[in-house]
Structure 1
Amino acid sequence: MQTAMAQTKPTPQQSYRIIAIMGSLLLSAFIGMFNETALNVALSDLIALFHITASTAQWLTTGYLLTLGILVPISGLLLQWFSTRQLFVCALVLLLLGTLAAALAPGFAMLMAARVIQAAGVALLLPLMFNTVLVLIPAEKRGGAYGIIGLVLVVAPAIGPTVSGLLIDRLNWNWIFWLSLPFLLISLASGLRFMENVSAITKPKIDAVSLAISTLGFGGIVLAFSSAGDSGFGAPQVIAAMAVGLLALSLFIARQWRMKQPIMDLRAFKHPMFAVGTFMIFITLVVMLSAMLVLPMYLIQGRGLSTFSAGLALLPGGLVNAVMLPIMGRVFDKFGPRGVVPSGAVLILAVLASLSGITASTPLALIIALHGLLMIGISMVWMPAQANGLNELPPELYPHGSAIMNTLQQIAGAIGTAVAISIMTAGMNGFMKDAADRADPANGPLALIAGIQQAFLFAMIVAIAGLVVAFFIKRVPVDKQQG
């Protein structure tokens, strides 16, 4: 234990420029997360421009998620094989190459390849950022640090559709990526100047079998859920991907438990608050991403708002969440998670109950207010649960804990969006089946809203499970010299 801690923790004589290091990581992560959602509002234009189907265009999102699902699980291994500086430069180079290729893409094939390259950069960057916080920031101050990270991770996807909608209206979709390039160059220059190696390289043994079944397991599950949102859970390709994914994931888990040097050390789950925190993050992200999917559809297709107007309507909630995450991080540092997390879970459940009853005549101001309250509830759960869970881990499990949480976030995204779409579609079909005149065009928006009500009921059930677990969370005692 003492040897592992010496390898992972900075020695007292080491002095790091923490603000400069974290600034480089945060700026690059912001652009990476911005690019993850900014292209969504351009899909309709790309379908017409490239003469592709909606299913093909969806691969610009599915391929991005699939790359994250494959690479993030092995990030814990990469963090032990390569230095902080090497991984940062590699991540930024991948992001720059992918973004430049996307900006110049003349057709779908090049844009698809560019999205995969971008996702590979983000897959390296996010676990590196969380691990750097664990190494550099004292445990009693990590809540505030994770709050700032949360601000970045929430604001970027929140403003992505709004900014990209404005760029598409004024210029064209390529400018989504041209806008990103200068910021990535600034981040790379800052990293080359200030980034330091904050943890020792231990180079554990690489198990090729684990890498292979990890790819099949996590990749298969993400692919299955991502495809199910478009094809349905009964589609043969979805069933096949799910079966392969679950089988490979079972083999992966069994193998990791037996190995002395696993590529993802699942013994982190022996720490109860890490397990609780991971579950709470998973539940919170399923709820948040489900809402982020169906609310724009409600505003655009159910209420007739433009893409830009819908983005503006949802922007206050994203900004409220961004403001609240650092605040909740500091509240956690001072008071712990015991009161904050259960209260946030109650607020989330109450908002979802209200949203499950929305209609075509629900005041837009009420929708904006409910979205803001939902984001406040999520901020009360997400970062306190994450910081508390990671604080319980010993230093030798830092890379693995970061990899586990980031992996489950990608899976939560795939599950939340796929199940929400499937339930919404079933609700729409049920409405149209009972409609007196199915050919009446007025029934389209009404059917969509009925489906969205069902999607929010699904989110409520998930939130209830989160509320139950939230009452088991308790503060992890930390050594003020730790970290």
Structure 2
Amino acid sequence: MQRKLSLKLYLSIIATGLTAFCGVLIETAMNVTYPTLMAQFNVNTATIQWLTTAYLLVVAIFVPLSSFLKRRFTIKQLFVSAALLFIVGLLICTFTNHFATLLLGRIIQGFGTGIALPLMFNIILEQAPIEKLGFFMGIGTLVTAVAPALGPTYGGLLVETNWHLIFGLLLVVMAVAFTLGIYAIKQVTPTKKDHLDFPSWFSIALVFVGLILGLNSLSTSLSLSLVYLVIAVISLIIFISRSLKITHPLINISVFKNKAFTLHLISFLLFQVINVGAAFVLPSYLQIVNHVSPVNAGLLLLPGAAVGAILAPFGGRMYDAFGIRKPAYIGLSCQFLGVVLLFALAATANIWMILLGYVLVMLGPGFTMGNTMTNGLAQISQKENADGNAVFNTLQQFAGAFGTSIASLVMAIAQNKAYYASSTATGAQNVFLIMIIFVVINTVSLLLGLKFAEKSE
């Protein structure tokens, strides 16, 4: 197939991108609604968190299926299914005033997001011109990297008016996405009658269920967390063992034998951990330490999210023109300076310097995150791209859950009700210290990945 730019290519990327964007946006938008929803439904923190935990579990269970689904069904069939599921979930959450029904709506949204997330990247990898791949992958990563940062702003602006609007307004976006997708999405590779290996799916599902529940339990019960993590490890061993034995594995794990691919993947996931961790800590920090309202706390994060959004396609253009090194050096340097600034200023609580630090943090994924995925997938064969894409998208969901859980745990350990503001500042400072370490590991991983990539050329 000849790869060429067309209006339908742009529209199909927009349609799948908007669907994925809505799914990821809701994930972090829910964080600022918890106090309101706890009061309305008369439930505690552990219960209300299931609105996010259940959603993440469903997404994590479905994303590993993306490689199989792509082989078995057309992209348009998958898009229509994902969009309709997400719209149904939004409708339920828009009109319900019962917690159980709200939770059901979130679970249905999870099904839609789990199917939708990999579609955009599959379209880009299959149909975008090679010389424009960095640009389009930058746009794609904009969705998954910037949406979590925009979530608190979006939720904060609407929660004090009517939390139902958080879901209701996205129905308009999804109507546009659905219309564009029906018109523009086309199939360029034939489907085939493939059979789902249920034992592999069940074992990999248990891996992510165990990991997410284990991380969520860290701050409440260490023993329960360990039980979940042991289940995850045992399930992972079973999944790997089976994948190596069968002819057509659910995910081709041989991609991990490629050192350059694996190191790029580690770097990509650390970007996500830092992004989501910062987006989780800063709204609470600004409200508790600086006594900023939820709306203003969300608005203070908006410049950083906007910078990341604007620079993602620009970073992709730099990749197309110069390769990965220039945008990678800029992005990693900015993110390092950002987390160092946030760490140094956490105790002083200067709002505008914190805003600057967050903008610098978001320059990291803006310049580098999409390029890391693009360059990582370039290290494996075209035949393995669907498997590599499934790995990136699946583990990105786990990385988001990991970033939130680590930040939440570190903050909870430091917080003291007698000195709530100062102890929250200390907790935030500890989180940013950990992020400094993550940025260093990220830098080493990406530089090593580039070194191995050059050796294999």
Check 1:309–1:13 CA distance in 2 against 1; reply closer, same or farther (3 A cut): closer
Shift of 1:13: 11
Residues 53-452 of structure 1: pairs in structure 2 closer than 5 A: 53-170=44-161, 172-228=162-218, 230-232=219-221, 234-236=222-224, 238-428=225-415, 439=418, 443-452=419-428
* Distance in 1, Cα, partners of 2:397 & 2:124: 20
The answer to whether the Cα contact below 8 Å between 1:273 and 1:392 also exists between their aligned partners in 2 is yes
Contact 2:338 2:359 in 1 (8 A): no
Residues 209 and 190 from structure 1, CA distance in 2 versus in 1: closer, same or farther, beyond 3 angstroms? same
SS of the residue corresponding to residue 472 of structure 1 reads helix
Q: Give ranges in structure 2 of 5+ residues lacking alignment.
A: none
- The one-letter code of the counterpart of 1:117 is I
Return closer, same or farther for 1:462/1:218 CA change in 2, 3 Å cut-off: same
Residue 453 of structure 1 is matched in structure 2 by: 429
Q: Which residue of 2 aligns with 1:35?
A: 26
What is the rounded CA distance, in whole Å, between the counterparts of 2:342 and 2:128 in structure 1? Answer: 39
Whether the aligned pair in 1 keeps the contact of 2:290 and 2:349 (CA below 8 Å) is no
Q: Among the aligned pairs, what percent are the same residue?
A: 32
Distance 2:32 2:412 in 1: 20
Task: Indicate conservation of the 8 Å contact 2:3/2:127, yes or no.
Answer: no
* Counterpart residue identity of residue 215, structure 1: A
SS at match of 2:324: coil
Residue 5 of structure 1 corresponds to none
**Cα distance change on mapping 1:287 and 1:166 into 2, 3 Å:** closer
2:348 and 2:261 mapped to 1: Cα distance? 43
The letter for the 1-side match of 2:8 is R
Equivalent pair of 2:149/2:275 in contact (CA under 8 Å): no
Query: Which has more radius of gyration?
Result: 1
CA pair 331-112 structure 1, distance change in 2 beyond 3 A: same
Q: Deviations over 1:418-446 (max 9, x none)?
A: 12222222233xxx5xxxxx84xxx2100
Corresponding position: 1:45 with 2:36 = yes
Give the residue type in structure 2 aligned to 1:457: L
Please tell me the residue identity of whatever aligns with 1:376.
Answer: L
Name which of structure 1's ranges 125-134 and 194-203 shifts more when overlaid on structure 2.
194-203
Deviation sequence 1:37-79 (CA, Å, 0-9, x none): 2222111111111111111001111111111111111211111
Q: Within 2, Cα distance between the matches of 1:360 and 1:423?
A: 16
Query: Which stretch of structure 1 is more off in the superposition, 193-202 or 99-108?
Result: 193-202
Please give the TM-score of this superposition, normalised by the length of structure 2.
0.94
Q: Please name the residue that 2:438 is paired with.
A: 462
Name the SS for the 2:269 alignment partner.
helix
Q: Of 15, 23, 28, which aligns to 1:24?
A: 15
- Note the C-alpha offset of 1:25: 1.3
Q: Is the 8 A contact 1:84 1:198 kept in 2?
A: no
The answer to whether the 8 Å contact 1:92/1:184 transfers is yes
Query: What is the identity, as a one-letter code, of the residue corresponding to 2:284?
Result: M
Conserved? CA contact 1:62–1:227, under 8 Å? no
CA 1:204–1:16 in 2, change beyond 3 Å: closer, same or farther? farther
Alpha-carbon shift at residue 101 of structure 1 (Å): 0.7
Normalising by structure 1, we get a TM-score of: 0.89
Distance (whole Å) between structure 2 residues aligned to residue 165 and residue 16 of structure 1? 35
